[in-house]
Structure formats: structure tokens, C-alpha cells
Chains A and B, each alone.
Chain A
Amino acid sequence: MTFDWQAAWGAAPALLRGLATALQAAALGYVIALVLGLGFALLRRSGRRWVRLPVAFFVEFVRSTPLLVQLFFLFFVLPTVGIELSAMATGAIGLGVHYATYTSEVYRAGIDGVPAGQWEAAKALSLSRGRTWTRVVLPQAVPRVVPALGNYAIALFKDTPQLTVITIAEVLSVVKAVGSQNFQYLELITVAGVLYLITALVIAWPVRVLERRYRRESA
């Protein structure tokens, strides 16, 4: 059996629609990851132990367990406790919470990188805690971690095929649906792989540019 180019070409539109769905889920998930990750990072610096420790435990736990099982858990268990969400919302939350545990480490490194003198200066100017964070610390901490955050956008996108298990019509779901009719899995999965590769490279491009720019500035 050889590669059937006709079949590969014919499946492209359906696969592209799957890719659009995957990108939508990834974008939603990434927004959640960026916001929630910052929240985790701030809570882990809290002066109160009963805030700091449970958040640290949650972050470590979520980061060391498979996203796949987390997706199953959210998709099948949330409805039993009365939380009815669409598959897309569940998927975005699953991806978002999982990657928030990674972005929180990135933010943490960024915050730790702000020199102690900046904190002391804020204190000397008797800035409030809120102003110290929003005007002094975060504006210095966040820009330098943008490339690292960007890398997790790529990683998050590459985890979207797992959304197939919670009935989201992303690329792999299309592969399975079309493949069950024509059995041309070789062509379907190969084209799907090429699509992922191209998309990942396209997302990676601005991240690499930012990385280089930052490295030049810090050099």
C-alpha cells in the first residue's frame, strides 16, 4: 500500500476545521493559564501559611499528574456535582489550570528576579502594597519572562489532541471520524502531523524573536 495523495488532499478541509477548533481551545486555555498562573504565583508568596501551603500543594499536584486524567476527571465528575459546562469550556479549563501550574513557576522566577532594592525603594516612598506590585514589581518581573511564557503557549497547543477524549472536534477527532469511514489512517494522521508541526513552528516564531531580543538586551 502506498501513500494516497488524493485522500490526503481530500481530508485537508475537515482537518483544518479541526485545527481551528484546537486553536480556539488553546487560546482560551492559554488566557486562563496566564491569569491563573499569576494568581498562583502571588498566593504562593502570601504571608499566611494557610494560603501559601494549599496553593503550593495544588500546583505541585496538578503539575505532576497527567492532563489526560485531569480532563477525564473534569468532564465526568463536574456534572455529577451540578456543574454543567460545554466540552469546550471543560477543555479550556483543563488546559488552563494544568498550564497555570507551569506559568506560575515562570512568574515566580520573574518576581524573584526583581532586585531587593526595588522593594526597599517602594517602601521608602511609602507606596501601598497594591501600588508596589502593580507599579514597581510586576512591570519589571513580567516582560523578562514573556519568552518563557510563550514557550508554554506552544506546549499547551501541542496538548490539544488530548481534547479528543472529551468529545471536542479537534484534529484527532476528525482523523478518527473520517478514518472510520475510509480507513485511510496513514494519510489522515500524516497530514494531521504536518498541520501540527507547521502550527507549532508558526507559534514558535514570535517566541524565538522575543527570546533573541531579550538575550541581546540582557547581554
Chain B
Amino acid sequence: MSTGLWLRLLDGLLVTLELTVFGAAIGLVFAFAAGLARLSPNRVLRGVALAYTEGFRGLPALVVLFWLVFALPGLGLQLEPLFAGVLALSLNIGAYGAEVVRGAVVSVPTAQLEAATALNFTPWQRMRLVVLPQALVAMVPPFGNLLVELLKATALVSLVYLQDLTFQGQIVRAATGDTAATFAGLLVGYGVIALVLTRLVKLVERRAAASLGHTTRPRAVEGAR
């Protein structure tokens, strides 16, 4: 395989990582906005958030992507391709993330909320100082799973001609004619990225648990320390 083709794969890898990172960042914003709105006392906010989460969990990510890229121009709006990709991916993953946020907030024990009320905390103080520090820790593992789902979903953008790892893989396949090796190589590539992401999330997980004074795993007694 020539250097040019390797460089193509490297370009594709960068686009894939870009989509994953931006998709995750914007997806987090959607997740928190919708997840907290689902718990709001305001009925309109709750309704909008419910429509968003149920809607985007019922729509295939690829269809959302096609809609943004091929249908939206029909309404006179042409998005930058990379932006359309990030938007479709983050709307999709944000809807799942919203359920994670909601679940984590709800899982904080009621006694904690009562204690905050007893201490005369405002609702905002209660959320910021009592609920979120505990809920955030509970969110890390499921968010880690969603991150791998997001990475996998980035491959869809190759179908709207964004030049990600999968797209460049198709070029390499056409150039070399070695179908089996190219697709196997692509799969290994994604597998390795997923492994790295999973490891990073595990690090964050341990840190987060430690911030609450928990250890993820009870340590065996190792002599006098």
C-alpha cells in the first residue's frame, strides 16, 4: 500500500475522531438540557424534552443524517457537511444521554434532597451542591457506553460523502482491490479506538468514584500502609 493511501486513512481517522469528540460534546449539551427539562416543574419544558427524547430514540440516526443533508436543502437550508454530521450524531446520542441524566438525577436518594431542604438550600443550590455531584458519578459508566455507540455511528457519515475512516477505507479498497484486508483492517481500527475510549472512561470513572469517597473495588489488605 502506498504512502498516499496511508495518509488518506490518517485523514479519515482524524475526521472520525473529530466527529466523535464534537458529537460527544454537543450531545452532552442536548443530554443535560433534555434530561433536566424532563424533571422540570414546567409542563411545556417537560413536553418538549419528552418529544425530543422519544422522537430521536425512534428515528434511525442514518435517516436523521439523510434528512439534514438531502432534505433540508429542499427547504432552502444547506448545512456544512461536517456540521450536519455532528448535528445528526449529537441529536441522536443526546436523546439517549437525556435518559441517562434523568435516571442518574432520580437515583439520588430522597433523604439527600430532604437534608438539602432542611438546610434551607435554594432549589439551585440543592441541584448544584447535593444532587449533581452524586448524579454525575452515576452518569459516567452509561455515558462511556454511549461514547462507543457514538463512535460506531460516525461510520454512517461515509454514506453522505463525508471523508471519515470508513469512506477512506472504501477508497483504499478500490485502489488496492484487497477487500478482505481493507474491511478487516477498518474493523480492527475501530476496535482499537473503542478500546482506548473505554480505557479513558474507566479512568474518569475511578476518579469520579474517588471524588465521592468510594473505591470502585474493595482493595485487598496489602500489609501495613
Contact (Cβ within 8 A) B58 A200 = yes
Q: How far is the CB of B67 from chain A (nearest CB, A)?
A: 5
Indicate with 1 or 0, residue by residue over B147-167, a CB within 8 angstroms of chain A CB atoms.
Answer: 010011111101100000010
With A68-B156, A80-B179, A186-B75 already in contact, the answer to whether A204 and B63 are too (CB < 8 A) is no
- Judge if B74 is at the interface, Cβ distance under 8 Å: yes
Contact (Cβ within 8 A) B60 A159 = yes
B interface, CB within 8 angstroms of A: 54-55, 57-64, 66-67, 70-76, 148, 151-156, 158-159, 166, 169, 179-180, 183-184, 186-187, 190-191, 194-195, 198
Whose C-beta in chain B lies nearest to the C-beta of A202? B58
- Please give, as numbers and ranges, the residues of chain B lying within 8 Å of A197 by CB-CB distance: 55, 58-59
- Judge if A175 is at the interface, Cβ distance under 8 Å: yes
Tier of interface size on chain A: 35 or more
Whose C-beta in chain A lies nearest to the C-beta of B158? A68
Q: How far is the CB of B66 from chain A (nearest CB, A)?
A: 5
Residue of B58, B64, B152, B184 touching A67 (CB-CB under 8 A) = B152
- Please give, as numbers and ranges, the residues of chain B lying within 8 Å of A187 by CB-CB distance: 74
Contact (Cβ within 8 A) B70 A189 = yes
Contact (Cβ within 8 A) A73 B58 = no
- Please give, as numbers and ranges, the residues of chain B lying within 8 Å of A80 by CB-CB distance: 179-180
Given contacts A68-B166, A165-B159, 4 further A-B contacts (CB under 8 A): A66-B151, A80-B179, A193-B64, A196-B63
Within 8 A of B (CB), among A168-203: 172, 175, 179, 184-190, 192-193, 196-197, 200-201
Chain A to chain B: the 3 pairs with minimum beta-carbon distance, closest first: A186-B74, A64-B194, A66-B155
Contact (Cβ within 8 A) A69 B187 = yes
For B62, B73, B154, B195, which residue has the most chain A Cβ atoms within 10 angstroms? B62
Contact (Cβ within 8 A) A160 B60 = yes
- Judge if A162 is at the interface, Cβ distance under 8 Å: yes
- Please give, as numbers and ranges, the residues of chain A lying within 8 Å of B194 by CB-CB distance: 64-65
For A1, A68, A69, A193, which residue has the most chain B Cβ atoms within 10 angstroms? A69
Contact (Cβ within 8 A) B190 A175 = no
27 contacts between A and B (CB under 8 A): A64-B148, A64-B190, A65-B187, A65-B190, A65-B191, A66-B154, A68-B166, A72-B183, A77-B179, A77-B183, A154-B58, A158-B61, A165-B159, A172-B62, A172-B66, A179-B70, A185-B73, A186-B71, A187-B74, A189-B67, A189-B70, A192-B63, A193-B63, A193-B67, A196-B60, A200-B57, A201-B58
- Judge if A76 is at the interface, Cβ distance under 8 Å: yes
Measured in the bound complex, the distance between the Cα atoms of B63 and A197 in whole Å is 10
With A64-B190, A72-B183, A159-B60 already in contact, the answer to whether A190 and B67 are too (CB < 8 A) is yes
Measured in the bound complex, the distance between the Cα atoms of B71 and A172 in whole Å is 13
With A161-B62, A189-B67, A204-B58 already in contact, the answer to whether A77 and B187 are too (CB < 8 A) is no
- Please give, as numbers and ranges, the residues of chain B lying within 8 Å of A154 by CB-CB distance: 58
Q: How far is the CB of A158 from chain B (nearest CB, A)?
A: 4
Residue of B70, B76, B183 touching A76 (CB-CB under 8 A) = B183
Measured in the bound complex, the distance between the Cα atoms of B169 and A10 in whole Å is 38
Indicate with 1 or 0, residue by residue over A44-86, a CB within 8 angstroms of chain B CB atoms.
Answer: 0000000000000000010111111110110011001000000
